[in-house]
């Protein structure tokens, strides 16, 4: 079991804002080492300035397999396999009926939310298997277990994450685990796309992270394949 009392190497995708940034702050506050990525050079620069080595933050588009391959290779060469991989990066489409979603917008959501998770798994998991330990957390959603109108692309990707995680759990050897993790309803930029001003009525990312980081650090092989 991954106990909070031990220093962990944590990888976070989508680390520049929302839940990713809140988790990065909280893991580092607790003494863990974080490697994060995001698509905004200015936000990555700010994170790197605030949290220098041993932490590391890089500009990476997880939808691009070549970028993910370069990033993971550099991280693995520098510090070895991570203990905890958090596939958090995701996009949400503006709320419209499915037939009104532009094809390029639908593709962007699919590419980041599904292919991005696959790319990260593809390049990190072999090293974790070689070491024999590690947990991969794929961020899901209540919309990966239910549906709502006008968010069909996002629902599609999160239902896919639930299936991908369960299948991956059947493939991982003993000692490793993967879970599909629904974080709940948090006041983030993504939620405001769907909820508008009502998003402000929900918990802030930094408050959510204090409890959720504890839960994430406690995940272990017994949780393999669970939807949490």
Catalytic residue positions?
154
DSSP 3-state of 51: coil
| Residues 11, 124 contacting (CB under 8 angstroms) | yes
In the 8-state DSSP scheme, what is residue 196? G
* Residue at token pair 């899901």: 140
Separation between Cα atoms, residue 9 and residue 36, nearest integer Å: 11
Separation between Cα atoms, residue 73 and residue 180, nearest integer Å: 25
Name the nearest CA neighbour of 42 among 25, 20, 57: 57
Torsion of CA 15, 178, 184, 41, to 10 degrees: 10
Contacts of 27 (CB under 8 A, 6+ apart): 8, 10, 12, 34, 213
| Residues 19, 88 contacting (CB under 8 angstroms) | yes
């Amino acid at each position: 079991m991954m106990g909070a009392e031990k220093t962990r190497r944590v990888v976070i995708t989508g680390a520049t804002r929302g839940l990713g940034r809140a988790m990065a702050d909280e893991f580092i506050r607790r003494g863990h080492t974080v490697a994060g990525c995001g698509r905004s050079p200015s936000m990555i620069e700010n994170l790197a300035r605030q949290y220098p080595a041993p932490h590391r933050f890089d500009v990476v588009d997880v939808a691009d397999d070549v970028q993910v391959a370069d990033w993971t290779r550099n991280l693995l060469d520098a510090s070895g396999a991570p203990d905890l991989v958090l596939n958090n990066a995701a996009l949400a489409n503006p709320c419209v009926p499915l037939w009104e979603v532009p094809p390029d917008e639908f593709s962007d959501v699919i590419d980041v939310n599904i292919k991005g998770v696959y790319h990260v798994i593809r390049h990190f998991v072999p090293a974790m298997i070689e070491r024999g330990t590690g947990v991969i957390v794929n961020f899901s959603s209540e919309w990966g277990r239910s549906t709502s109108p006008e968010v069909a692309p996002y629902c599609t990707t999160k239902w896919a994450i639930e299936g991908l995680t369960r299948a991956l759990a059947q493939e991982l050897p003993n000692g490793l685990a993967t879970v599909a993790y629904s974080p709940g309803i948090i006041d983030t930029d993504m939620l405001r796309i769907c909820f508008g001003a009502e998003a402000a009525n929900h918990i802030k990312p930094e408050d959510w992270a204090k409890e959720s980081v504890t839960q994430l650090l406690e995940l272990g092989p017994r949780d393999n394949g669970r939807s949490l």
